[in-house]
Amino acid sequence: MSLEAKRKEIEEYAAEQVAEIAAYDEDKLNDVYDLHNEIFNMDYYIVGYYQAAQWLGTDTFEAIGMIQDYEKFNFGEVHTDLGSSENVANMLAYILGEEVIQEVVEEYLEQREEEGEE
């Protein structure tokens, strides 16, 4: 699975989670930062070292590079255990989730608005 396919998978996962969260508290959609944290930081996206290694596949080193760049930019140093496939996979999901969450929320709200107009 390519990195672009992983991004699409994360986008679809985020859309499912946004719809589920909106069903019980639509006000949470007003703060995408907290929403991103709830979806991608409160629980693991992938559980298990083997499953994580399989999901990362040939993109492992690209994922590690993305994580290093992200963490150095945001925190000044790398905190993720890069020797753990599970930590790498979940941090990649977190980063990709941050990249797509705003668009996912906007698409959800537009769809809700269109449904309301019909």
For residues 40 and 42, what is the distance between their CA atoms, to the nearest angstrom? 6
The 10s digit of each residue's pLDDT in 67-117 is 999 999 999 999 999 999 999 999 999 999 999 999 999 999 999 888 875
| 39 within 8 A of 72, measured Cβ to Cβ | no
- pTM for this one? 0.91
What type of residue sits at position 25? D
Tokens of 73: 């930019």
DSSP 6-75: HHHHHHHHHHHHHHHHHHH-GGGGG-HHHHHHHHHTSS-SS-SHHHHHHHHGGGHHHHHHHHHHHHHHHH
The 10s digit of each residue's pLDDT in 14-69 is 999 999 999 999 899 999 999 999 999 999 999 999 999 999 999 999 999 999 99
For residues 72 and 44, what is the distance between their CA atoms, to the nearest angstrom? 22
